[in-house]
Amino acid sequence: MQITDYNTSYFPTWCPGCGDFGIWGALKSAFTKIGWTPSDFAIVFGIGCSGNMNDFLKCYAFHALHGRAIPTAVGIKIANHKLPVLVVAGDGDCYGEGGNHLMHAARGNHDITVVIHDNRVYGLTTGQTSPTSPKGYKSKSTPDGVIEVPVNPLAYAITSGATFVAQAFAGDIVHTAGIIEEGVRHKGFSLVNILQPCISFNKVNTYPWYRERVYKLGEEYDKRDKMKALEKSFFLADKIPTGIFYEEDRLTYTDSLTQLSESTLLRRSCGLNLEKILDEYV
């Protein structure tokens, strides 16, 4: 496979220089490394600039309602647990409207990979504050500054039961691709939070701002230590770690369903004549 094999006939409409381009490239690079064809996996997209990737990435895809990408992905995975399923969404979509779904999918250890574009604003609607906007951040929706403290995606995922929690920076495509690949290969619920500059509406968390602060977790870091991972997730101000924060092995949700022990639901007959039922509504 080549990276271009995942392109569609449409070119992205994101602002030139948007961090979404880096994530788009990293995803395609990871898929190439894994060896998937566009028909070997499915992605559920959220609403927002990140969700517009639905038009630019060739694969089985579904554009979900705002905040509802994760439950849609869970449904696909249960229907065909042999199919790799990903979610691509934004910080507003997943940590705001979809925060409840994230928690329950993590604690159930559903075997999906959730890739988040975290630009700390609602970019598509021109820069309102999001759940990850820092306290005091000023925007058109909060001219006097954000009152609430920001959501901590990594700590939230770890304490909710996610078995793979990682963070990357969209300005480092090679490293981000490697993190996504690790998350996809992990068997269980994977969260990959990607720090993604919004060049049009977030003038604080820029590429230079991140490059001065991000660093990679070293080989000495023990990603199996949950308490250390939780502690590390709170050091996100002056120095921002990237890499795999936490990973553990645990039985997945679909592996726990005896109904799926012999075959996928997709291949099983429901024992009903659906055509006869549908005829009643014609």
CA trace torsion 108, 248, 92, 180 (10° rounding) = -120
Give the CATH number, domain containing residue 119: 3.40.50.970
- Rounded Cα distance between 87 and 278, Å, is 32
Question: What is the per-residue DSSP string for 172-241?
Answer: -HHHHHHHHHHHHHSSS-EEEEEE---TTT-SSS-HHHHHTTEEEPPTT--TT-HHHHHHHTT--SSSEE
Which of the pair, 276 or 4, is modelled with greater confidence? 4
Number of structural domains in the chain: 1
Nearest to 236 by CA among 170, 169, 173: 169
For tokens 């981000």, what's the residue?
176
Tens-digit pLDDT profile for residues 206-222: 999 999 999 999 999 99
Q: Which residues pair with 86 in a beta bridge?
A: 43, 113
pLDDT number for residue 242: 97
Tens-digit pLDDT profile for residues 33-62: 999 999 999 999 999 999 999 999 999 999
Q: What is the mean pLDDT of residues 126-150?
A: 94
Tens-digit pLDDT profile for residues 54-86: 999 999 999 999 999 999 999 999 999 999 999
pTM above 0.85, yes or no: yes
How is residue 45 written in tokens? 């997209």
Q: Which domain holds residue 260?
A: 3-279
For tokens 């995803």, what's the residue?
27
